[in-house]
Amino acid sequence: MAEFAGRRIVITGGAGGIGVATARTFLDHGAHVLLLDLDEQRLNEAKAALGGTRVFTAATDLSSLAVRDDLLARAKPVYALVNLAGLFEPDPLDPEDHSVWDRAIAANLTNAYDMAVAFRRYVDTRGPARLVFASSVAFRRGSPGYAAYGAAKGGIVGLTRSLARRFAPDVLVNAVAPGVIVTRMSEQIIAERGDAYRQDIPLQRFGEPGEVASVIRFLCSRDASYITGQTITVDGGLTNA
C-alpha cells in the first residue's frame, strides 16, 4: 500500500514550482492534495499538469481567519500542512517606506503562524500529523538585497522550534531551507547573479523543485517519526562549504 494512501495533504503556495513538485510526490504515494494559492490561473495549470481525481484547489490569500478555517474544515482530517506560501521581493531599506517589510512579514511569517494555529484544530489523529514550513538559506547566509525576506525566514525557524515543543506529541513540526532552486520565484536572481551563485555551490548547479519536494515528503513519512523542531537545508552545500 502507498504510504500516504487516504491521507489529506494541504499545500500553501501550491501553484509554485516547489508546490507542484511536492504535490506530485505525495500523489505518487497515494495522498489526496489540496493546493492553495493566490493565482487561480496557475492553480488551474497545476491541477491540469498533475491530473487525477485526488487534486483539489482553492484560490486564496490566506489572510482571512474564516477562509482558513473553512478550507481546513472541508479538508479535514488533515494529515500534513506544507506551508510554502511566501513573497520574495527586493528590499530598498527605505526609512520612509515600510511596505516591503510589512509585506514580507505578513506573507512569509504571519500567514505561516496563522495557518499553523488553524491547522491544529483539524489534524488527522491517526498518528502524529506533520507540519512543514519553508524557510530559506537567506536566514543562514543573510541576503543583502532582501533583508526583510531574510528576517521573515529566520522567524520561520524560531516558529518551527517553538511549535515543535508546543504541538508535541500530536504534530511533528519541521522546516526546509532551500537554496537557489529553479522556479519562477528565483528567475530574477538567477538572471542577475546566477554565475556568481553557481560558483559558490559545491555541486556547481542550482537545485530542482523535486529535490526539495523529496525532503518534504521524507519529513512527512514514517521514516521521520523521531524528527521534530529541525530545519533541513537543501542547497547543494552552499551554506556549509
- Give the catalytic positions in this structure: 149
CB contact set of 192 (below 8 Å; sequence gap of 6+): none
C-alpha closest to that of 13 among 113, 61, 110, 85? 85
Instruction: Tell me how many degrees the CA angle 25-159-145 measures, rounded to the nearest 5.
Output: 85
Q: How many CB atoms lie within 10 A of CB 195?
A: 8
C-alpha distance from residue 26 to each of 41, 79, 170, 177, 213 (Å): 22, 12, 21, 19, 9
Backbone conformation region of residue 97, classed left if phi is above 0, alpha if psi is from -120 to 50, else beta: beta
Question: What does R_g of the chain's alpha carbons equal in angstroms?
Answer: 17
Neighbouring C-alpha atoms within 13 Å toward the C-beta of 106: 11
